[in-house]
Structure 1
Amino acid sequence: MRVIYLTSSESLSGGSRQALYLAQGLAGRGHETFLLTPAVSSLPDQEAGGEAAFRAVALPAKRGCWRAAVEQLLPAHDTPFVLHAFHNKACKLASWWGLRWRLAKRRAVVVLNRGVCYRPGNPLPWWSPGVDAVSVNSRACADVLARIGAPRAKLRVIYNGVPEGRVRAGREPLAVRAELGIAPDALVIGSITGDKPVKGVEQLVRAAALAKTKGLSARLVLVGTNPAKWGPLARELNVADLFAFIPRTPHVADYLGVFDAFVISSLSESLPNTLLEACLAGLPVLSTAVGGIPELIEGRGILVPPGDASALAEGLLRLERDHEARARFAAASRELSATFTIERKVDEVEALYRELLARRGFSAD
């Protein structure tokens, strides 16, 4: 089977990594796979380590030339292939290419990927008859697309997968704690987040300030945040002693290794890969009840309303004080992690491709 993965993202985003993992996984099963990324993306180099069996292709700088770049990789006219597009611009293009290929009687199967829960500004790609299926990473995401008229029959919920290497630390936890000025026996509540308002870092800092007035002493380590942006707020609210703001780093696993619990304060999400990594690391989870997160964490962790600093503060205090609940939620995370293997994700996506090819009367072999 020839499978072409196309992403328009220039960053090392969660969606880009999912495309990479699929390209690697299917190549390992003997399929001919390609991963097309913008020329400025370092995804194949940084994540694949030069050992992947797929072929990485840099897209032209001009988006108008992307179709030609993709079509150079197509097999003979009568040979089936799959194009799987990730991120908004790539999905828009693929939806129209799919129509063009159908008119040209190419044996193409087109799959779009959607991993966010906000309403698309342009619904047309999700309606396109040139698209065979839309793979979404949560039921909540599927519901959003269904509400704008995307055919339910085309929507497939396939949860993301994360490789074990994403949580394999390269440094000793005690060394990382020492570097951060955190005592070996201090409780660490951590997050892998970002500076955008939607990530809710401000709400988390304010929640910590509320919780500190009730005795919170746990340290909070936020990976992916700018100290210059959040340090002043933490000092203003008298919680600078509780926080460590760590800029974006490829060494996420080193910090996961020192976390005792995980917090997500986002105002909106679908189903973030960071949650899956926290489960794989066996961490109890406190999260806002947004997007697809309740699909996994309801009854297995602590859920609070988004934007509610008071509720988030109570969640932080419960994580610190309720040792029994923390142990129970950690066990639930370890159990959940079996659902999020790369092997399971590749199995489901490969089965989807075979189903779509068969439905069109094409052979997958």
Structure 2
Amino acid sequence: MRILQIMRAPVGGLFRHVADLSHELAQRGHKIGVVVDTLSADSQSEAKLEALSPDLELGIHYAEIPRTLGAGDITTPFSLRSLTRKLEIEVIHGHGAKGGFHARLARTKHTPTFYTPHGGVLHFDKASTNGRIFHALERRLMRRTDGIFFESEYARQTYATIVDEPTCPSLVVHNGLREDEFFPVETAPDAADFVFIGELRRLKGVHILLEALSKVHRRDGSPANALFVGDGPDRKSFEQLAGSLGLGSRVSMPGANPARDAFQRGRCVIVPSLAESLPYIVLEAIAAGKPVIATAVGGIPEIFGPNASELVPANDAEALRVAMQLFIDDPEEAARQTQRKSAYIRQKFSAARMAAQIEAQYRSAMHRD
């Protein structure tokens, strides 16, 4: 099949998903092209796209895809429709709110078109102007959609609640990891007791983690410490909070680093989020053999599966403190829990499984036509 993947910004978990899907589909003999936005990228975007290019026989193409509504929303669908004819595309797949918007507007009668929200449209407040516009557009575009993939059951239920029940075929297809990611990362001798990896903003629950950390102690009675790997808009306020809690040298915020490098620098990964969809960092940490303490939000219970009872309530510093102290007090049990979770996600959350499910839906839609 000749497949075109459309997204806005080549960053974050959405890009990770597109990259893994493109690689797996290319390994199955399909020809893949990718469309990305000309207006948004981060410092690593070009390097990421360059690394992906060997899997993209149909190339990397650029279009104006504004984050909210803009002039590009009028012109880009026409240019994408022309591109699909030029490349003889047989399947279009849009990712994120705007990738999905343009993919479905570019759809032709004989080109099945799929959509993965990736949380995008689900993040718009129903009461906001943008929320009302995008949710209405979602309902209108349903008739131009041959299938919707949700990365979690949580995302599917949320979509049905705030947008509508899909009138087209829909399927939950969990994000997956490559086989080479399922090997343990050795912990450095000077590693912190805990490591947080992600954006430094309140939605990620960093303030809750700082409050909990202030009351956690090692078995010898000395205070536990933590590393916060990442950056974000609330970094300054978190530094001030750490100071007011008397954490001082117990907290370090060195900036962003690749996840597997950060795994070496902490004995236990903490994901104290107040909201999530299906975060890759939880999958990656478990696959790397790291104990993980996480909150029961979004699709995280789906990742933990039969081990979901180990999750802690969101926005509850005391519950988080108890879980952190249990890790300190009984690391052997934490290691056993990690082995159970790793076996589960290896079975249920592989990139090969993810791609096979999506590929089957592509083929089914082509046969329907």
What TM-score comes out, normalization by structure 2 length? Answer: 0.82
Q: How is 1:25-36 mapped onto 2 (pairs within 5 angstroms)? A: 25-36=24-35
Picking from 190, 195, 202, the partner of 1:190 is 195
Deviations 1:174-198 (A, max 9, x none): 3xxxxxxxxx266632222212221
> How far apart are residue 205 of structure 1 and its match?
0.7
1:179 aligns to what? none
1:3 aligns to what? 3
1:71 aligns to what? 81
> How far apart are residue 32 of structure 1 and its match?
1.6
What root-mean-square deviation, in Å, do the aligned CA atoms of Structure 1 and Structure 2 show?
Answer: 2.9
Structure 1 residues 166 and 228, CA gap change in structure 2 (3 angstroms): farther
Structure 1 residues 246 and 357, CA gap change in structure 2 (3 angstroms): farther
Structure 1 residues 188 and 36, CA gap change in structure 2 (3 angstroms): same
Question: Higher mean Cα deviation, 209-218 or 347-356?
Answer: 209-218
1:57 aligns to what? 61
2:104 aligns to what? 95
2:19–2:52 CA contact under 8 A, matched in 1: no
Structure 1 residues 45 and 310, CA gap change in structure 2 (3 angstroms): same
Determine helix, strand or coil for the equivalent of 1:56. Answer: strand
Determine helix, strand or coil for the equivalent of 1:115. Answer: coil
1:274 aligns to what? 281
1:37 aligns to what? 36
Structure 1 residues 36 and 88, CA gap change in structure 2 (3 angstroms): same
1:289 aligns to what? 296
Determine helix, strand or coil for the equivalent of 1:108. Answer: coil
> How far apart are residue 234 of structure 1 and its match?
1.1
> How far apart are residue 241 of structure 1 and its match?
2.6
1:356 aligns to what? 365
Determine helix, strand or coil for the equivalent of 2:297. Answer: coil
Task: Give, in whole Å, the separation in 2 of the partners of 1:50 and 1:129.
Answer: 32
2:145 aligns to what? 131
Unmatched 5+ stretches in structure 2: 66-70
Structure 1 residues 297 and 216, CA gap change in structure 2 (3 angstroms): farther
Determine helix, strand or coil for the equivalent of 1:142. Answer: helix
Deviations 1:332-353 (A, max 9, x none): 2321331322222211111121
Task: Give, in whole Å, the separation in 1 of the partners of 2:80 and 2:183.
Answer: 35
Task: Give, in whole Å, the separation in 2 of the partners of 1:97 and 1:245.
Answer: 44
Question: Higher mean Cα deviation, 203-212 or 114-123?
Answer: 114-123
> How far apart are residue 110 of structure 1 and its match?
1.2
Deviations 1:194-242 (A, max 9, x none): 1222111111111112335995733322221356442222121012332
Aligned length: 341
Deviations 1:344-364 (A, max 9, x none): 221111112112222x23xxx
1:189–1:263 CA contact under 8 A, matched in 2: yes
2:53–2:60 CA contact under 8 A, matched in 1: no
2:212 aligns to what? 207
Task: Give, in whole Å, the separation in 2 of the partners of 1:93 and 1:84.
Answer: 10
2:81–2:106 CA contact under 8 A, matched in 1: no
1:178 aligns to what? none
Q: How is 1:1-365 mapped onto 2 (pairs within 5 angstroms)? A: 1-9=1-9, 12-39=11-38, 40-41=40-41, 43=45, 45-46=47-48, 48-49=50-51, 52-54=54-56, 55-60=59-64, 63=72, 64-75=74-85, 81-98=90-107, 101=108, 106-116=109-119, 118=123, 121=131, 122-127=134-139, 128-147=142-161, 148-151=163-166, 154-163=169-178, 174=188, 184=189, 188-212=193-217, 217-225=223-231, 228-249=236-257, 251-297=258-304, 299-300=306-307, 302-338=310-346, 339-358=348-367, 360-361=368-369
> How far apart are residue 256 of structure 1 and its match?
1.3
Determine helix, strand or coil for the equivalent of 2:55. Answer: coil
Determine helix, strand or coil for the equivalent of 2:311. Answer: strand
> How far apart are residue 264 of structure 1 and its match?
0.8
> How far apart are residue 152 of structure 1 and its match?
6.8
Unmatched 5+ stretches in structure 1: 175-183
2:205–2:315 CA contact under 8 A, matched in 1: yes
> How far apart are residue 3 of structure 1 and its match?
0.9
Determine helix, strand or coil for the equivalent of 1:246. Answer: strand
1:210–1:310 CA contact under 8 A, matched in 2: no
Give the letter for the 1:74 counterpart.
T
Task: Give, in whole Å, the separation in 1 of the partners of 2:324 and 2:364.
Answer: 45
1:12–1:43 CA contact under 8 A, matched in 2: yes
